[in-house]
Structure 1
Amino acid sequence: MSAPLPASSSPFTRAVVSSMRKLYPESLADKSFDNTGLLLEAPFNPRRRQKNSVLLTVDLTKAVADEAIKRRDSVVVAYHPIIFRGLKSLTLNDSQQQSLLRLAQEGISVYSPHTAVDSTPGGMGDWLCDVVTGSTSPSSTFSPQKIEKSSSQKYSHPTYPTPPSSVSTSSSPVPHTRSTIIPSPSPVPEGFESAGMGRLVTFSTPQPLTSVVDRIAQGVGLPGGIPIAIPQSASVDNMQIRTVGVCPGSGSGVLVKGTGGNLPDLLFTGELSHHEALAVIERGSAVVALAHSNTERGYLRAVMREKLEESLKKEWETERDQGLKALEESAKEAGAGLVNGLDEAYRDSECEVGVSDADRDPFGIMVRIG
């Protein structure tokens, strides 16, 4: 009888974690409040292997956990950390802990990059810049959701933005420059010199607010409505936008406080408080706040899926080569065959990254149609 393997995550999981750390270095996350990295390391059981696949999501909900279990993924990459503070227990009474325990039981690990993705050049902040400047455009097959009447007879069922399954680089983005609002503190990893929180887009010539809003709607998935705040003395038809501050999620700390009082013409984020929004429009600027995660979710399909899959294929090939060589050396020394079925895991060249279909912002839009 062969000796049991020491407790560890699967080889494929280690390749996923390595790829994520190279693409979105954990040192770029805001550790003053954030909790990033490998939050759940599920023990590897080579006799009941998961698929070599990753599921991307913004939030790890029960529905997403069910999806990952059904798909037999090895790793869930959840942009928002499901563990923010220290835990004194792990029980089935707490819905989030229940999801973690179920995933661990199935051998599925959880990695959360959060603000490392916000800060990284080419990350979520730069994707929002691409959205407002028209640097990317949805695939031609992208169409708005069909609005269906609910049992109320006057309002539709809630609708949620559906990010396009693919995007293409626009040949004619609006001319602009962009800069980082709050640069990451030194030292930053080589190649990530422009890292930091928030981005400021400066158009070469002022843009109609309505044009910017149209580009936002296209980029995030044609939501049923655009929450917008404008000064009471203005109208959307006459406002011109020269500068746009963008920040995914909750943007007040970056766009209001981080700009040193020099507000951009438009603040584009997920949410601001009531009083913060009032203060912004009283000073002549506008706000587009789409609900927290609607400024984040589209990045998973538009950018992260492809970047991670490309990096992971290389990382997994290296991990496989090294693992098989190590196993063969161990087998020679022990005078036995490869052990515990681990060789099967290393021989599996499959590698897939998917995006959750169950993930969505808690808030939808009910449209009056009756």
Structure 2
Amino acid sequence: MAQPAMSPFSQAVVAAMRKIYPESLADKSFDNTGLLLESPFDPKQQLKNSVLLTTDLTKAVADEAIARRDSIIVAYHPIIFRGLKSITLQDPQQKSLLRLAQEGISVYSPHTAVDAVPGGMADWLCDIVSGSVSGPSASLQNDLQNQTQQSDPTSSYSDVIYPQAGHNEIQTTNIIPHTRSAIHPSPDPVPSGFEGAGAGRILTFTDPQPLATLLDRIGRATGNPGSLSVAIPQDASISSLNITTVGVCPGSGSGVLTKGSVLPDLLFTGELSHHEALAAIERGSVVVTLFHSNTERGYLHDVMRSNLADALKQDGQVAVSKADRDPYGIVVRK
């Protein structure tokens, strides 16, 4: 008797993701990519031909997928990262997996394969710093302003403000002249059509760019977060700095950006530790960090959603989670 399999739509999503973001390009030295939860197809569960994209698979995102009746979740970060000796209801993340399995919803994670591919997340960050960026719509900017204003009358602080990811347009026709290449090229054999793949990117402008201009592009493209974490050398100011080389890496970038003998003028990533940032500015570099997943989430809105929809030939719905957000936001003291 044949074993039950995932729904045909979920199988199509996994096949499409593997075609767009080959798993062979993921960094298997630490990563755990691929099909992490394979839930057998049961027509009685009446799931829709829909996929939910998220950066992190949290309880809130699991609730969202269950309420929407999605067939599969594509979670950029693997919810199963290391070996498990048990799966219990006491662990919140494992509980989410058990609930999803019970509902027949599968989970796929592409993670560092998305970072490595040409046109992937690292190149999206390059496009941000080298392109003409239109920010979020007026309605989204109003949402951010409302978050700033909403607070308990007894509090001296606003509510927590989270960037509104996506809904941006990077004008590829107005790209500032530059060259770019992978910092750590993917080892051979690289799948045909994915030449140039690898971890991180080093971008070199033909003409130096004012740091203030790059900060404006980053802020616009990542949802006008209200503040940017910027580290500069102690003898410099933002207005005095011009940038020729930019090293970019989604998420936690130290393993990719800080290992060379010469650092880029600007390190643009999600997070660096205190000591890593201090070492970088002591070597004359600038650091911009956005909290880990704010360098990743916009890509799902602006690129991955349409890539996957095109690969599926519109056979089903591709949506981005509304519940997904970085654990960190900012508060504004009045």
Within-5 A mapping of 1:1-370: 6-134=3-131, 136-138=133-135, 140-141=137-138, 143-144=140-141, 145-146=144-145, 147-151=148-152, 152-257=154-259, 260-313=260-313, 350-369=315-334
Aligned amino acid, residue 201 of structure 1? L
Q: Determine the C-alpha separation between the residues in 1 that align with 2:20 and 2:132.
A: 21
Aligned amino acid, residue 294 of structure 1? N
Contact kept in structure 2, 1:246 and 1:255, CA below 8 Å: yes
Structure 2 gaps of 5+ residues are none
In the comparison of the two structures, how many residue pairs are matched?
A: 329
Choose 302-311 or 155-164, whichever is displaced more.
Answer: 155-164
SS, match of residue 93 in structure 1 = coil
Deviation at residue 224 of structure 1 after TM alignment: 1.6
Contact kept in structure 1, 2:52 and 2:318, CA below 8 Å: yes
Aligned amino acid, residue 226 of structure 1? L
Larger Rg belongs to: 1
**Residues 142 and 256 of structure 1, relative CA distance in 2, 3 Å threshold:** farther
Deviation at residue 90 of structure 1 after TM alignment: 1.1
Which deviations, in whole Å up to 9, do the C-alpha atoms of 1:114-133 show, x marking residues without a partner? 00000011000000000111
Q: Determine the C-alpha separation between the residues in 2 that align with 1:182 and 1:143.
A: 36
Contact kept in structure 2, 1:149 and 1:155, CA below 8 Å: no
Aligned amino acid, residue 173 of structure 1? I
Contact kept in structure 2, 1:135 and 1:172, CA below 8 Å: yes
SS, match of residue 64 in structure 1 = helix
The alignment yields a C-alpha RMSD, in angstroms, of: 1.5
Q: Determine the C-alpha separation between the residues in 2 that align with 1:81 and 1:148.
A: 35
SS, match of residue 287 in structure 1 = strand
Deviation at residue 214 of structure 1 after TM alignment: 0.3
Q: Determine the C-alpha separation between the residues in 1 that align with 2:204 and 2:247.
A: 9
Contact kept in structure 2, 1:142 and 1:164, CA below 8 Å: no
Deviation at residue 137 of structure 1 after TM alignment: 3.4
Give the % identical residues: 65
Q: Determine the C-alpha separation between the residues in 2 that align with 1:228 and 1:273.
A: 13
TM-score, reference length from structure 2: 0.95
Contact kept in structure 1, 2:135 and 2:224, CA below 8 Å: no
SS, match of residue 205 in structure 1 = strand
Q: Determine the C-alpha separation between the residues in 2 that align with 1:156 and 1:16.
A: 41
Structure 1 gaps of 5+ residues are 315-349
Deviation at residue 171 of structure 1 after TM alignment: 3.0
SS, match of residue 61 in structure 2 = helix
